[in-house]
Amino acid sequence: MPIIIRFFQVIVLCLGFLTMLAPVSFAQSTDEPQAGFFSFLPRAPELKLPSIDITPFWTDDLKSGKRAYSKGDYGKALRYFQKSSDDGNMVADWYLGHLYRLGRGVPADPAVAFSYYQRVADNFDPEEPDNNRLRVMVDGQLRVANYQRSGIPQAHMAPNPQLAARTYLRLATTYAHPGALFALGAMSIEGEGMTKNPQQGLKWLNAAIRKRSPEAAAYLANLYQSGVIVKHDDTRALMWTIIAAESAHQDENPDIFAELAERRFGATEEVRLEAEARARVWSEANPFPTE
256 near 264, Cβ under 8 Å? Answer: no
CA dihedral (253, 41, 183, 205) positive or negative: negative
- Among 117, 115, 166, 161, which Cα is nearest to 137's? 117
CA distance 37 to 15: 31
CA distances for 99 relative to 144, 198, 265, angstroms: 15, 35, 34
CA distances for 57 relative to 24, 87, 97, angstroms: 38, 10, 17
**CATH 3.30.1490.190 describes domain 26-175:** no
CA distances for 258 relative to 234, 242, 244, 261, 268, angstroms: 16, 11, 12, 5, 18
User: What confidence score (pLDDT) does residue 121 get?
Assistant: 96
Strand partners, 157: 152
User: What confidence score (pLDDT) does residue 150 get?
Assistant: 96
Terminal CA-CA length for the chain: 50
Q: Please report, in tens digits, the pLDDT of each residue of the chain (291 residues total).
A: 444 444 444 444 443 433 333 333 333 333 333 333 443 343 444 444 444 333 345 578 899 999 999 899 999 999 999 999 999 999 999 999 999 999 999 999 999 999 999 999 999 998 988 888 899 999 999 999 999 999 999 889 999 999 999 999 999 999 999 999 999 999 999 999 999 999 999 999 999 999 999 999 999 999 999 998 999 999 999 999 999 999 998 888 999 999 999 999 999 999 999 999 999 999 999 988 665
Confidence (pTM): 0.80
CA dihedral (167, 169, 173, 177) positive or negative: positive
Q: Tell me whether residue 278 is exposed, middle or buried, using C-beta atoms within 10 angstroms of its C-beta: 0 to 12, 13 to 18, 19 or more.
A: middle
- Residue 145 has phi, psi (to 5 degrees) of -60, -40
Phi-psi domain of 32 (left: phi exceeds 0; alpha: psi -120 through 50; beta: other) = beta
Q: Where are the domains of the chain?
A: 26-175
CA dihedral (212, 145, 116, 14) positive or negative: positive
DSSP string computed for 19-43:
HHHSPP--TT--SPPPPSTTS---S
- Among 174, 176, 263, which Cα is nearest to 218's? 263
